[in-house]
Amino acid sequence: MPVYQVPVRDMQFLMHDVLKLQNHSSLPGFGDATPDVIDAILNEAARFHEEVIAPLNRVGDLEGCTRHEDGSVTTPTGFKEAYQQFCENGLGALAHDPDYGGQGLPAILALAIGEMTSSANQSFGMYPGLSAGAWRAIHAAASEEQKQIYLPKMSDGSWTGTMNLTEPQCGTDLGLIRSKAVPQADGSYKISGQKIWISSGEHDLAENIIHLVLARIEGAPEGIKGISLFIVPKFLVNEDGSLGARNGVSCGGLEEKMGIHGNATCVLNYDEATGFLVGEENKGMRAMFIMMNEARLGVGMQGYAAAEAAYQNALAFAKDRLQSRAISGAKFPDLPADPIIVHPDVRRMLMDSKAFIEGARALTYWASLQEDLSHKAPDEETRQKADDYMGLLTPVIKAYQTDKGSKACNDAMQVLGGSGFCEEWGLSQYVRDVRISMIYEGTNGIQALDLVGRKLMRNGGRAVQSWFAELDQWIKDHEGVDGLGDYAKGLAGVKAKLMEATQWLGANAMANPDNAGAVSHDYLHLFGLTAHAWMWGMMAKEALAHKGDGDPFYDAKLKTGRYFLDRILPEADSHLAKVKAGSEAMMALEADAF
């Protein structure tokens, strides 16, 4: 049976030591999040996830969801009760605005809980996860009246939410949306059309489901400028807040997927369903983009969260499985063979994952702090800078960390050999589940385009210039510090390559726009390496500060950091070389000649 223990210690290290949340106690909600409170929340949530959510992971994979003839959908055995407990524990609204039923705590705490849920049971986590995304969109774009109607119930979990973007003919290219909205005399709209791949689109966990739907109001401009956002509740809500009539939205089918079987991925048919406009007509995309960065941060988290669970299983196997002797001589001569963790190539896979996961967690938590700073910091300059950073790093976190998270799950499977390929060991599920994270919330290719085509150039390159300056400052401050010189040097090296790639883009992307698309993937990976190198520098600094404690946690952190410098950073060379290869060979072949 798969194991999963919440890495509470690593979470604490990041919150207390590296990001020093306590230094931000003047921000709204941060004052309540004292180290003691944080530790209590993490520990309690960890126990709940290990005991309740994780054991349902394989159940969800094996059973999947069931659609009944009437269009209702049943989630796997145990999901409903677990969701009930999840809500009772208040885990779904830790960082939500207290004006609408939330607890107003730092976003990083919600992220940590999301990580636990995702590691323990990705399919389950997507029910509250999507709901939080819908919550944020409503919070950001809806009227006060709409917020009062929907948000408190979504905060306490009795209602969940969904995001309805995709249609059969339109995925990435939302300008192709056909779902239509017809204005009614009472100010509402009748929504008709078909949406596909709607995660958590129909289920039995909550009494109502609040669908957020992109549709085109009759007569709206063509393309992306004619898209509006609507709230379409499964059950209409009476004036007193009680549930009214069943709305004209129904689940027409469930997708058979490679993974995340426990989440209901629905075809949703809208047949003159009553919808309520959110924000202005034809400005639906704006509302979507507001919550997009935060949702994508959550997917970037899923990448390393799955890797964490898979890694833990691989590690347990590697310590237990006896096979062959260490090349350097038997380590356990009394046993019939040595545990395979003695073999360097097994360690390569484990250390690759460990170094990735810890760097990814740090970067994602850091970005989550930027999210709060961008909303809550008292001064405009701090807010802007945090918003810039989060915008810049979000596509990197989403794509780099799901690419690498998927690789880490595959490496974990490889550690188990033939057992990894057998379903009973659970590694297959991690590999299959995590694979969707490279695709949804914008494929990783779209993230790369978002980075090179939008985020990099926005406001004259303000975000990236500011971030580069921050890295330079870190390098300057630490290159002479005992024990940190190699981190400064490693960061300086990879940052120089990223600069070179950025300059190459500047010089070549305007003249030939295909160059931007052609190099975007490798550019993004180079960006991810640089960001992780910075995080490893920050973590090493704190670990060094505790070196005298005799606590093996800090020693392991430093050894893992050294591994990152020696064995992960060299990937930068190939990415830079590929960037500089440009688009010529990529675009040379005529489509018909493939």
Alpha carbon distances (Å) from 273 to 184, 231, 236, 391 = 12, 10, 10, 35
The nearest distance, CB 159 to a copy of itself, in angstroms, is 26
Residue 214 φ then ψ, to 5°: -90, 125
Token reading at 274: 């009553």
Question: Of 248 and 445, which CB lies nearer to a copy of itself in the complex structure?
Answer: 445
Question: Of 548 and 594, which CB lies nearer to a copy of itself in the complex structure?
Answer: 594
Question: Of 283 and 348, which CB lies nearer to a copy of itself in the complex structure?
Answer: 348
Question: Of 98 and 168, which CB lies nearer to a copy of itself in the complex structure?
Answer: 168
441 is a catalytic site residue: yes
What is the rounded distance in angstroms from the CA atom of residue 91 to the CA atom of residue 489?
41
Q: Please, what is the angle between helix 427-434 and helix 380-415, to 10°?
A: 140
The nearest distance, CB 538 to a copy of itself, in angstroms, is 19
Token reading at 92: 């779904």
Q: Is 123 exposed, middle or buried (0-12, 13-18, 19+ CB in 10 A)?
A: buried
What is the rounded distance in angstroms from the CA atom of residue 536 to the CA atom of residue 362?
8
State the DSSP code for 221: P
Q: How far is CA 393 from the centre of its chain?
A: 12
Q: Is 319 exposed, middle or buried (0-12, 13-18, 19+ CB in 10 A)?
A: exposed
Residue environment code for 454-470, b if the CB has 16+ CB neighbours within 10 A, otherwise e: ebbbeeeeebbeebbee
Token reading at 197: 């791949």
Token reading at 421: 């390929």
Residue keyed to tokens 């303000």: 462
State the DSSP code for 21: G
Cα dihedral: 405, 130, 266, 202 (round 10): 140
The nearest distance, CB 559 to a copy of itself, in angstroms, is 5
Question: Of 139 and 261, which CB lies nearer to a copy of itself in the complex structure?
Answer: 261
Exactly one of 115, 202, 358, 441 is catalytic; name it: 441
The nearest distance, CB 354 to a copy of itself, in angstroms, is 7
Question: Of 29 and 561, which CB lies nearer to a copy of itself in the complex structure?
Answer: 561
Q: Please, what is the angle between helix 485-508 and helix 458-478, to 10°?
A: 160
What is the rounded distance in angstroms from the CA atom of residue 490 to the CA atom of residue 562?
10
The nearest distance, CB 349 to a copy of itself, in angstroms, is 8
Question: Of 96 and 354, which CB lies nearer to a copy of itself in the complex structure?
Answer: 354
- Helix, strand or coil, per DSSP, at residue 539: helix
Question: Of 246 and 567, which CB lies nearer to a copy of itself in the complex structure?
Answer: 567
The nearest distance, CB 98 to a copy of itself, in angstroms, is 36
- Confirm if 512 and 584 have CB atoms less than 8 A apart: no
The nearest distance, CB 235 to a copy of itself, in angstroms, is 28
Q: Whose CA is closest to 124, among 176, 38, 212, 63? A: 63
The nearest distance, CB 1 to a copy of itself, in angstroms, is 14
Residues labelled as active-site residues: 441
